[in-house]
Amino acid sequence: MARVHPEIYFFGGKVAEGRAAMRDLLGGKGANLAEMASLKLPVPPGFTISTQVCTYFYEHQHKYPKGLNEGVARSVARMEKILGRKFGDRDNPLLVSVRSGARVSMPGMMDTVLNLGLTDETVIGLEKASGNPRFAWDSYRRFCQMYGDVVLKLKPETATEHDPFEVIIERKKKDRGVEQDVDLSADDLKAMVSEFRALIRDRTGRDIPQNPVEQMWEAIGAVFDSWNNERAISYRRINNIPGEWGTAVTVQSMVFGNLGADCATGVAFTRDPATGEKGIYGEFLPNAQGEDVVAGVRTPRQISLRAGKGWAERNRIDEQERKDRHATLEESFPKVYRELLDIAKRLEKHFRDMQDMEFTVERGKLYMLQTRTGKRTAEAAVRIAVDIAGERLVERRDALMRVEPVQLEQLLHPRLDPKAQKEVLARGLPASPGAAAGEIVFSAEAAVEAVDAGKHVILVRIETSPEDINGMQVAEGILTARGGMTSHAAVVARGMGKCCVAGCAALEIDYHAGTLTANGHTLRRGDFITLDGSTGEVIAGKVPTVEPELSGAFRKFMSWADAERRLGVRANADTPHDAEVARSFGAEGIGLCRTEHMFFDPERIAAVREMILAGDAAQRARALEKIVPFQRADFVGILKAMAGLPVTIRLLDPPLHEFLPKEDSEIVDLARTMGVTAERLRQVRDNLVEFNPMLGHRGSRLGVSYPEIYKAQARAILEAAAELRGEGVKAIPEIMLPLIGDRREFELLARDIRAVAHEVLGKKNGARVSFTIGTMIEVPRACIEADKIAEVADFFSFGTNDLTQMTYGLSRDDSSKFLNDYLKAGIYKKDPFQELDPDGVGGLMRIAIDRGRQANKNIKLGICGEHGGDPASVKLCHELGLDYVSCSPYRLPVARLAAAQAAIAGRRVKGKSKAAAFKDI
């Protein structure tokens, strides 16, 4: 059958006009529904309106392309023919869902409307056709609730107000003396529909349309509108999803999990999304619709107790409770369970990755409503990647590409000390592992406000909703009273790498009073709590933490990454401890050791200040003599920790006024200690203060004005290296001059360092110490003059923090006040201090690299700014041909994996280019 419209893709009834590969056009949901239909899986028929219509919708004042109305009508007619029901029919009505679907999963961020097509007339037809009045009115009240929320925008009016629809439901349950909404009668639900519609009229001035076609078009418009709602925009910003992608809309015939005891709805994963353990994991609810599971309004049941000990232990249901409730899908619906198990295996094998599936059981028959690549924790991501490669579902290189590099940071964060004393208040479901401590807040807005004030918070909610996305992002962890392992809170927390404890039924939360009560203990807003996302424990106060233990799967995965990458990966480390941590995380040297951090130690700062107050070079030299032993000891520790690996040591960079106190009271105390007048100290401080210190007397400019400073530092470095050489330890110091902008500047300072080396090594009986001298490239002029500087330098290390500041003319300390305006306006796509600008800053780097290598083919090139741990920046560094990147120790695995992925992607691009060239021949 011919397509009804270029932007509409039908699926069902032995037809699938789309495919999984069309996710850019159909969104993940529409593409995968089409793919499941093509695999002959039980998928209710429907159609998807493409993302191109979304683009058109926004570009043409919420209008639609020509012929779309007719195309939708013809598609609905195809659904009617397959199902034998009519949309809007009084006797046997066809009902549909209208769902969003972006090309990447954005769980709960956009909108959905279920049971669309119900009116005062069609609900009677549904009642007759089903023979179940309670089901019909339950479906109608759900439709009214969703239509009022999604289409007519009826929301809580304040942050502390409960969902007004849920308030009506809770009141009705209380009046009837029941705990579950499934215990409400058909008459109760019918009365609730009237209350819902009265609420909608009162709050919005509108009623729900009684024309199903009008309902459909309003719902389609609302779903397209939801692409730019506040929570979707926030989610895209957090996850770097482009705003121009748009969403597709899928209209699908309804199947009902709320028809009675032989019906159910659920969510299942083909592997444990928290640990990666193989087996079917998930939750379901009997006699319910899909949103009941993810919204956390009712606590769901498990799919099976045989999924694996991890999921079963985390869901802790005692044997008697399990028997009383017939808790598992495997027991309640054995035939459905076996069919779901078979489909899960087929889908994972077909898509070659862990799948997150939504399903509904209607009168004992299983229907698949969605499959997508499942969100997972970092631990699970690594284990799944290693396992599916071992199972030969994918090759190793594909497995490496399946893990987001930034996820690996989660594995390196501390966990709760098992030996620590703790007061466990309650236990919920360990929905996302890790440990988190912070002050209690009860709303997303309060979380953002507290974090902006420098606090750490735990977001506590009865259940989370998509509107909470900004608070979830800034919170250390998330705690909910309701919901299961597949609830909104759990899914989003796992995707963010946040610790989450969900479904903690012992909690009583009072938003208005700002209290949390658990088992007789009451905590208030601002009190500290700790969450253990691996056990589900909610603990009073702060609990100490210990360093994490890395799994065998992690080590194997990282060994695969190291075998693929070309870029070296070093660490930014200033102490022996940092160097040891860095080496344990795979550092291949130190790319930046900041010597000024050593000066702030209380034992040393007095000598530093004495040097600053010195009236001449001789006085300065005497003060520096006191500092050299301290620095030498530091360098011995760092070089020893990195034995056999290069250590790039940057000589003093910040302006001298940073080492002097700022407050008058501190100046008086210091003057008394140093035996000078307070006036003298103020005069020195004021003379050193600059209008623009970033461009002032700092870096190598200090070395030119006060050569004795750099000479003393060079002596400490070289004496340390010589001492270690005498002990048989191979030390490889690389002495780096900061803020060089001219060849003559470099030559002058390098000459002084070599003179010191000659003196030091001569005293050590000609000890053979290998050292090099290079520079940070952070001044744009140095990029232009790179060929001249490279003739006399051994290495370049791009200091991209300062290079970005000087290229953009932005101060990273002050630009935060307005940088968001540039990002929102689309002037900058990314914060240039977080992700390297490939055109401006990258363009200058490209010039420096090309000119530097032309002048000195042996020059070593690296980067030591904070960008060295950003995956996109690492990819750019690979493409530019740098030799290494350097980042903080805890981002080393991120950089190692990003470097491997860049190498793999580069080989694939070259492979495609070669194949295309061969084809042309």
C-beta separation of 426 from 519 below 8 A: yes
DSSP 8-state secondary structure symbol assigned to residue 659 = G
**Nearest alpha-carbon partner for 109 in 447, 459, 467, 470:** 467
Please report which helix (H) or strand (E) contains residue 249, including its range: strand 248-253
**Nearest alpha-carbon partner for 439 in 415, 409, 465, 460:** 460
Q: How far is CA 481 from the centre of its chain?
A: 24
CA distances from 407 to 65, 240, 834 (A): 41, 14, 16
Amino acid identity for residue 724 in this structure: L
Rounded Cα distance between 633 and 498, Å, is: 40
C-beta separation of 302 from 315 below 8 A: yes
* Alpha helices (runs of H) in 50-185, residue ranges in sequence order: 51-59, 68-83, 122-130, 133-146, 164-176
**Nearest alpha-carbon partner for 176 in 160, 189, 162:** 189
Tokens of 168: 């009506």
> Rg (Cα) of the chain, in Å, rounded?
32
Amino acid identity for residue 186 in this structure: A
SS (H, E, C) 473-512: HHCCEEEECCCCCCCHHHHHHHHHCCEEEECCCCEEEECC
> What contacts 753, CB < 8 A, 6 or more positions away?
710, 711, 714, 735, 773
Q: Classify each residue of 431-459 as buried b or exposed e, where b means 16 or more C-beta atoms within 10 Å of its C-beta.
A: bbbbbbbbbbbbbbbbbbebbeeeebbbb
**Nearest alpha-carbon partner for 172 in 190, 146, 197:** 190
**Nearest alpha-carbon partner for 340 in 324, 319, 364:** 364
Q: How far is CA 494 from the centre of its chain?
A: 9
SS3 471: helix
**CA angle, 21 then 25 then 29, to 5°:** 70
Would residue 488 show up in a list of annotated catalytic residues for this protein? yes
Rounded Cα distance between 200 and 195, Å, is: 9
C-beta separation of 469 from 444 below 8 A: yes
Q: How far is CA 139 from the centre of its chain?
A: 36
Rounded Cα distance between 482 and 282, Å, is: 16
Rounded Cα distance between 612 and 360, Å, is: 75
C-beta separation of 715 from 722 below 8 A: no
C-beta separation of 380 from 273 below 8 A: yes
Strands 477-480, 499-502: parallel, antiparallel or unpaired by DSSP?
parallel
Please identify which of the residues 263, 593, 783, 864 carries the catalytic annotation. 864
- Phi/psi of residue 406, each to 5°? -65, -20
Give every strand in the sheet of 278-286, ordered side by side: 301-302, 278-286, 264-271, 355-362, 365-373
Please identify which of the residues 5, 488, 657, 878 carries the catalytic annotation. 488
Tokens of 239: 């996850």
Would residue 62 show up in a list of annotated catalytic residues for this protein? no
C-beta separation of 790 from 856 below 8 A: yes
Tokens of 308: 């694996």
C-beta separation of 540 from 523 below 8 A: yes
Strands 435-441, 457-461: parallel, antiparallel or unpaired by DSSP?
parallel
Rounded Cα distance between 360 and 459, Å, is: 32
Rounded Cα distance between 282 and 302, Å, is: 6
Tokens of 882: 């740098």
Please count the other Cβ atoms lying within 10 Å of the Cβ belonging to residue 84: 8
The residues annotated with a catalytic role in the active site are 488, 864
